Structure 1
Amino acid sequence: MAIDLQKGQRINLKKENGSDLQNVCVGVNWGVIEKKGWFGGVSKEAVDLDASCVLYDGSKNVVDLIFFGNLFSKDGSIRHSGDDLTGDLSGDDGLDNEIITLDFSRLNPSVEFVAFVLNSFQGHDFADIPFASIRIFEGSPSRVNNVFATYNIAKEPNFSGSVSMVMGVFYKRNNEWKFNAIGEPTRDRELEETVVTVQRTYL
């Protein structure tokens, strides 16, 4: 699988040996906002970004929603690592602050779309966050095998003014799973709005 997958590119989930991709992780890493004080000091403002996963059936109805308030899907196929309320306080440590793991073998058969989205809980503009990166990879939370989509949302001009984005959507065609690397900001303010945006625009 290509490591340098471009935004908007669609790929199937076949490995080089012809087998189907089984486990996928979505990791998000970000830092706190630093502000200079009157006397040369620097204050740090925590940033609470929330990675979420939405399951839809073939009619685009929501089947399940996995987020910081619901860490496990009903069918056991998806798990969320938990809510990170601050971001990296001492600079980029290179580790994901939140990780969502998907096991395709356990996914409810009625599910045909699996969307990953990101929202700023407190409404921080993506442009104000010093670093914020997303990677979608094969493996587990403790092991990265192949990265097939990455986004650096803090340095992309089109993310300025936005507090939500659609990272990507896995979709089923002819009983095979494929991936659409969307990587687009939205004007939504809340997770519930982003769920609807995905329904209307990205499925």
Structure 2
Amino acid sequence: MTINLAKGQRISLEKQDGGSLDYIEIGVNWGAIQKKGWLGGNKQVAVDLDASVGLFDAQGALVDTVWFRQLKSKCGAIKHSGDDRTGDTGGDDGQDNEVIQINLNQVPSNVASLGLILNSFSQQNFGEIPFAGIRIHNGKAGSGNVFATFDVANDPTFAGKVSMIMGSVYRHNGGWKFRSIGAAIPERELKSSLAAYSRDYAS
């Protein structure tokens, strides 16, 4: 059964039999902006969002970053599918635009949490984007094994913001948990967004 997460909810990353998940994929899906054209009708405006993950130690210090300019963590545990610069221009196609692959059992022991960040590269604010959400896959994205979903759109506090802390994957009692955060932040690029995560959520 897929869990539909609410903002602030925490879940254990466990299989139905109680065993810990050792591999997950976090997919991000979003839509292009619809605007009225000069001669009537709707015009699709591409949206370039960037999903990234910061690796943090227990004190909140940044250890490494996986993003569109570094598609693999130095430890090899985390990979990024690559940059999507348009979003779904024909409506929601049900597929993830960017996917972060995480081998949880290979994450170095000094890494206590993974901060999931979403930035609007072209500075289009989240209040204009028709839909955006994340899916946690137990296994490969597209396999149908969606463990949990989290809608990160349609919140009035997102208007005017171009950066967001989507969530956190963090160690807890020998296993891993996910926290749905969904906090739009005033920062405008990845470096300062990672600093905001470190300040408010990493420790």
Structures share fold, TM-score greater than 0.5? yes
1:76-91 alignment, distance < 5 Å: 76-91=76-91
Which residue number corresponds to residue 118 of structure 1?
Answer: 118
- Contact 1:6/1:149, CA 8 A, preserved across alignment: no
For structure 1, which runs of at least 5 residues remain unmatched after alignment?
none
CA-CA distance at 1:41 after TM superposition:
4.6
CA-CA distance at 1:34 after TM superposition:
2.4
Which residue number corresponds to residue 60 of structure 2?
Answer: 60
Tell me the distance in 1 between the aligned counterparts of 2:11 and 2:93.
30
Which residue number corresponds to residue 31 of structure 1?
Answer: 31
Runs (4+) of structure 1 exceeding 3 A deviation are none
Tell me the distance in 2 between the aligned counterparts of 1:15 and 1:70.
30
Which residue number corresponds to residue 199 of structure 1?
Answer: 198
For structure 2, which runs of at least 5 residues remain unmatched after alignment?
none
CA-CA distance at 1:111 after TM superposition:
0.6
Query: TM-score normalized by structure 2?
Result: 0.92
- Contact 2:53/2:116, CA 8 A, preserved across alignment: yes
1:173 and 2:172 equivalent?
Answer: yes
Tell me the distance in 1 between the aligned counterparts of 2:146 and 2:31.
24
Tell me the distance in 1 between the aligned counterparts of 2:112 and 2:57.
5
- Contact 1:149/1:181, CA 8 A, preserved across alignment: no
Identity rate, percent: 46
1:153-172 alignment, distance < 5 Å: 153=153, 155-172=154-171
- Which segment drifts farther, 59-68 or 125-134? 125-134
Q: How many residues align?
A: 202
Tell me the distance in 2 between the aligned counterparts of 1:114 and 1:96.
20
Tell me the distance in 1 between the aligned counterparts of 2:90 and 2:18.
42
Query: TM-score normalized by structure 1?
Result: 0.92
